[in-house]
Structure 1
Amino acid sequence: MQSENPQPPVSKTLAPFRNKVFRSIWTATQISSLGWLVQTVAISWLMATISASDLMVALVQAASTLPVFFLSVFAGAIADNFSRRWVMFAGHCLIASASMTLMISVGLGFVSPWLILGLGFLAGCGFALNDPAWHASVGDILHKRDIPAAVTLMSVGYNIVRSVGPALGGVILAVFGPLAAFALAAVSDLAPISAIWRTKWEVRSSPLPHERMTTAIHDGVRFTAMSLEIRAATARAALFGLASISILALLPLVVRDQLKSGPIVYGILLAGFGMGAFIAGMGNGFLRKVTSQNRLVAFASVACAVCCLSLALTSSVPVAAISLALGGAGWLITWTGIDVSVQLASPRWVVGRTLSIYYALSAGGMAAGSWIWGSVAQNYSLTSALEGAAGALLLVAAAGIVLPVRPWEETDQESSVFHPPDVALDLKPRSGPIVAKVEYLISEENIEAFLGYMRTRRHVQSRAGARNWTLQRNLQTPSLWTETFRTPTWMDFLRLNHRLTAADKEVGQHLLSLHEGEVPPQTVLSIERTTEAIRTRTSTIFSRPPR
């Protein structure tokens, strides 16, 4: 539901709050996040209390992130094919169910390390379902120019809550016990459920039927793999998640073993982490003006490395708090920069899937990192684990040379209008394979430019669904070039053309300017046919005239 009012060319940080839907869901999400953070403090400290295993403590983080790794891609396909609003609603219902079950279990005195991990996993399933749909919905609710500000506000909002929630959780845990913390979390989960139920927003729907889940997932993975910008950002996120999660995964052990403190100090230190992220979020716009996005993300990784190294060497609570504020700043800048880069590089038809793949690999990195650094702490020492994580973060910063994060640039990623061509056969959605051919007349002096645009066109068409793309030059008439590609079915051909954005079709305009024929290049469509005998039921595809 994008506003039609004129907007400034560059969105300010608070501009998305002008939209009532975004403001309502954002506020409800922060309430839910507050409860979740209070619950996280209680869960982590409860696990450290009932289990002597350092690995089990570190796995608390992994339990809620593993479902994102395993289920996000599936959830992204759902978000791109069905109502994102209802997908978000279902995700928050799962989170609320996990919180309520944990509250009841603790109230009845039935609690164990594996129960804690299991319910954390269930809540993670809810996050896996909600997060791609919510982040993809930002582009539906707001103008594209507001997406960077909206993503920053979402991160800043969470980290504002992070600066309060852990400290509040520590106080509640120390004064009232874990049951009160879990009860607060269960009640707070109702806020986003209510907000999503009450709000609606318009989404430009495709005129084509829903894709099958397997096809939708395959197409999302193919698009991500063929998009250099998304591939680099996703790889960078996975590496950063693997190294940086050590800060949060090992923090309970730092408080317990190095600082010799309890849950209140643990909450205060998490609040310091959140406060650093909040300050970085407020200054993110200024930082983007003074340096490139890729360099900013590299500096953020270095900040997290300094945080890890400081935690490894200090026994002072104030020093640890300052270090965590620096780590929180690096954490927010990195995730915000990568998240926005993925969103702006993704067309609307696939944004849920690209975001879900990004979340899946990020969560996989964090889950693996929790296990790796927890194992190092248990088998060697806590100091060794933190120092190793600091070294890994420095390597992640250096990875920006080969895995750069794209600048935040606004491009038209909306699908362009496509009118299906008239055909003389009665094609069914599953009819195929379909072969498309486009002929161009190119002079000798324009061949180099033509081939350059064709390389781009091959990339654009292939990631949208074209198969077996080839370019041929006629031997009898060298100026005649033929572009050929296939799609498995007629429906796949229609989807391919509906997926092409205005930015994608600019390549066609460049090719048209090089074409020297009297009429523009025409797309000739045909359907492949075997020489075997055709059954009566399918023969009508080729012989029956259109109705």
Structure 2
Amino acid sequence: MLRHAHFRLFWFASLGSYMGNWFEFIGTQWIVAKSTDSTLWLAYIGAAQLLPTLVLGLLGGVVADRVNRRTLLVVTQALMMLIALAFFGVVVAGVATPMVLLFLSLAQGVVVAFNNPAWQVLIPRLVPREDLVRAITLQGIGFNTARAVGPALAGVIMGLSGPSWLFLVNAVSFVGVMVAVSRTPDAPAPTRDGRRILHLGTFTRDMREAGAFIFREPGPRAALLAMVVFATFATPILRFLPLFVTQVYQMEEATFGLLTGVMGVGAVAGGLLLGRVPAWYPKHHFIPYSILMGGLWILLFSIVDDVRLAGVYMFFVGVFWMWTFNSSMAALQLLTPDAVRGRVMAVCNAISLGLMPTGAFIASGMGHVLAQVVDASTTGIAREGLATQLGLAFVSMILVLAGIVMLIWRTPEIDGLKPGDPGYDRQPGFLRGVFAPAHRPPR
């Protein structure tokens, strides 16, 4: 894949940017966790980062389909660099209160709402269609390589000099992306009806086109549903991880970075193992299987107090995290025509990313309710640790149930199959979903 020059340049630049993003994530989460000791505040930060995508993401998709996408990416990357410098400034000045970090996270979320649709339609421009799935997989490997190295390195840096340098490195990382994007082929807006002016009427029409495509076509609709379910109920493990470190394991920031890094190692391994999945095993079986297994490993992680076992479980969480998101995104990209791709990706972002904080709020609320029911006698950090564990266990069981349901009632259209095609099998059955006998080649 790296033989494509523009993709190669972009891949290495984005790898550095992903590393910086993980530095910022670790620094922000740790500062908030240490200063508040609250799952609710971590959910607030997550909401500030992601809810703008829910509110503005659709507009971002329309903009991505109406303006020069390369220019849009350079502008949004520059704005995110300025916000990263603001993070650095408030930490150095000693005024990085949870409320200040909440405001900066909100500002960053607004820019991300316009950045993501243009970012996601960039890769299909850099490689031929026949290489798209491998390019998306390689991009996912890059992201998770950064997840493997970045958090562990961030933990070391925080232990030596505090979190401020994490935010400065993130700001610098945006320079490489801006240079790489500026050297990609020009990306004017897709050919349309000749009108570029955006007003309420055209916005409504554009989003109606994208929404009609997604909800009319069973394949894109099912791929989006898989991403939404996993994004909502799996991401609390990342939001609550610093509290597992301080409340459950009673350890420090290096452990937080190490556990996040182990998850990244698992995701990289998952990306490499994707090539070992039999070619006959289709995505409409593979995606729900990955959701089920991801939920099981998150459940196991939530109930252990031993940090060594937690590290093992985080590795497998990373594997199935990669398998779920990569396969769902690849299916959606392949099923979507370029003329609506920016808007479809925006709908995907708005729903999946915008609903991510919902899972954290559900886990936080249910955790405290269940902790009261299970053991009303505990108080202080013991009660908070129990609530954190039970909340994550609750949402992981929702994932397990969702995976089972999706395996029983499958959607072959995810693989582009239609009724009457060989292998089109909607006969309900859990074991039929796991083993895919309709697709297994004859011996």
**Aligned mates of 1:405, 1:353 — CA distance in 2:** 24
Aligned mates of 2:71, 2:134 — CA distance in 1: 24
Alpha carbons of structure 1 residues 21 and 335: separation in structure 2 relative to 1, 3 Å: same
Call closer, same or farther: CA 1:260–1:207 in 2, change over 3 Å. closer
Q: Mean alpha-carbon deviation: is it higher for 263-272 or for 116-125?
A: 116-125
Q: Distance in 2 between matches of 1:403 and 1:261?
A: 43
1:107 has 2:114 as partner: no
For residue 60 of structure 1, what is the aligned residue in structure 2?
A: 45
- 1:173 corresponding residue in structure 2: 158
Indicate if the aligned counterparts of 1:233 and 1:404 stay in contact, CA closer than 8 A.
Answer: no
Distance 2:104 2:5 in 1: 33
Higher mean Cα deviation, 59-68 or 250-259? Answer: 59-68
Partner of 1:161: 146
Taking CA–CA contacts closer than 8 Å with sequence separation of 6 or more, which of the two structures ends up with the larger relative contact order? Answer: 2
1:336 corresponding residue in structure 2: 326
In the alignment, is residue 226 of structure 1 matched against residue 211 of structure 2? Answer: no
1:86 CA drift (Å)? 1.5
Aligned to 2:134: 149
- The answer on whether the counterparts of 1:77 and 1:220 sit within 8 Å (CA) in structure 2 is no
**1:271-420 aligned within 5 A:** 271-289=261-279, 291-379=281-369, 380=371, 381-400=387-406, 401-402=408-409, 404=411, 406-408=413-415
Question: How far off its partner does 1:215 sit?
Answer: 2.3
Equivalent position amino acid for 2:342 in 1: G
Shift of 1:203: 6.0
Out of 217, 241, 246, the position equivalent to 2:231 is: 241
Residues 1:126 and 2:116 aligned together: no
Is 1:266 the counterpart of 2:256 in the alignment?
A: yes
SS of the aligned residue for 1:110 comes to: coil
Q: Output the CA distance in 2 between the equivalents of 1:288 and 1:43.
A: 40
Alpha-carbon contact 1:35-1:186 (below 8 Å) kept: yes
Match of 1:81, SS state, is: coil
Does the residue aligned with 1:340 lie in a helix, a strand or coil? helix
The one-letter code matched in structure 2 to 1:390 is S
Counterpart amino acid of residue 274 in structure 1: G
- The one-character-per-residue Cα deviations of 1:307-335 (angstroms, maximum 9, x if unpaired) are 22222221222211110111111111101
What TM-score, normalized by structure 1, do the two folds share? 0.69
**In structure 1, the residue corresponding to 2:339 is in which secondary structure?**
coil
- Give the structure 1 partner of residue 436 of structure 2: none
1:245–1:370 Cα contact (<8 Å) kept: yes
Q: Say if 2:66 and 2:189, in contact at 8 Å, map to a contact too.
A: no
Per-residue CA distance 1:80-128 (angstroms, 9 max, x = gap): 1211111212221222122111111112222211211221222222322
Residue among 21, 28, 39 paired with 2:13:
28
Q: Following the alignment from structure 1 to structure 2, what is the Cα–Cα distance between the partners of residues 163 and 221? A: 36
SS in 2 for 1:306: helix
Following superposition, the deviation at residue 181 of structure 1 comes to: 1.2
Deviation per CA, 1:176-198, whole angstroms, max 9, x where unpaired?
11111111111112221222223
Q: Is 1:216–2:192 an aligned residue pair? A: no
Which residue of 76, 97, 101 corresponds with 2:82? Answer: 97
Please identify which structure carries the higher helix content. Answer: 2
Cα distance in structure 2, aligned partners of 1:357 and 1:27: 28
Shift, 1:298, TM fit: 2.0
For 1:237 and 1:293, locate their aligned partners in 2 and report how far apart those are by CA, in whole Å: 13
The Cα of 1:24 is off from its aligned counterpart by: 1.2
**For the residues of structure 2 that align with 1:98 and 1:402, how far apart are their CA atoms?**
45
Instruction: Between 261-270 and 119-128, report the one with greater CA deviation.
Output: 119-128
Q: 1:447-489 CA deviation, whole Å, 9 max, x = no partner?
A: xxxxx9xxxxxxxxxxxxxxxxxxxxxxxxxxxxxxxxxxxxx
| Deviation of the 1:299 alpha carbon | 2.3
Q: Aligned residue for 1:197? A: 182
Q: Count residues with an aligned counterpart.
A: 397
The one-letter code matched in structure 1 to 2:253 is P
Per-residue deviation, 1:408? 4.7
Alpha-carbon distance in 1 for matches of 2:154, 2:183: 29
Identify if the C-alpha distance between structure 1 residues 247 and 290 changes in structure 2 by more than 3 Å, giving closer, same or farther: farther
Q: Which has the higher strand share?
A: 1
Structure 1 residues 303, 86: CA separation in 2 closer, same or farther (over 3 Å shift)? same
- TM-score, length basis structure 2: 0.85
> 2:410 & 2:334 partners in 1: Cα distance?
17
Is contact 1:236–1:403 with CA below 8 Å preserved after alignment? no
Deviation sequence 1:420-450 (CA, Å, 0-9, x none): xxxxxxxxxxxxxxxxxxxxxxxxxxxxxxx
| Counterparts of 1:198 and 1:94, CA distance in 2 | 19
1:166 is aligned with what amino acid? P
The aligned counterpart of 1:83 is 68
The letter for the 1-side match of 2:262 is G
Query: Is there any run of 5+ residues in structure 2 with no aligned partner, and where?
Result: 197-201, 372-386, 421-443
Name the aligned partner's letter for residue 402 of structure 2.
V
Percent identical pairs in the alignment equals 25
Letter of the 2:337 counterpart: P
CA distance in 1, matches of 2:362, 2:195: 40
